[in-house]
Amino acid sequence: MPSAAESLTQLTSREREVASLVVQGLSSAAIALRLGLSAHTVRKHRSNLMARLGVQHRAQLAALLHTADTGNPNALRPGC
């Protein structure tokens, strides 16, 4: 199984956008408003992120993404 860092490189640009906003502490509803998506779609993207990165809780996801973002500022930028 790939490491979390390796998995980050496999995220779609939309998953990276959602991940970046999760790190900022935004709720699914706030992310949905910002990206022009439904809250259901945002929850699905977040669920996909959690499955790809092997975490089971939103707090774990946020912590892992924050660590990746501070260790590599481009890690969560779409297209990087």
> CA 49, CA 15: separation in Å to the nearest integer?
7
- Whether 30 is in a domain gets the answer yes
Contact status, residue 40 vs residue 53, Cβ threshold 8 Å:
no
Give me the tens of pLDDT residue by residue for the chain, a chain 80 residues long. 556 566 777 888 898 899 889 888 899 999 999 999 999 999 999 999 888 888 898 888 888 877 776 655 455 555 54
- Whether 76 is in a domain gets the answer no
**What pLDDT does 76 receive?**
52
Structural domain boundaries, residue 46: 4-71
CATH of residue 34's domain is 1.10.10.10
- Whether 53 is in a domain gets the answer yes
Residue recorded with tokens 């990087």: 80
Angle 34-52-5 (CA atoms, 0-180°, nearest 5)? Answer: 90
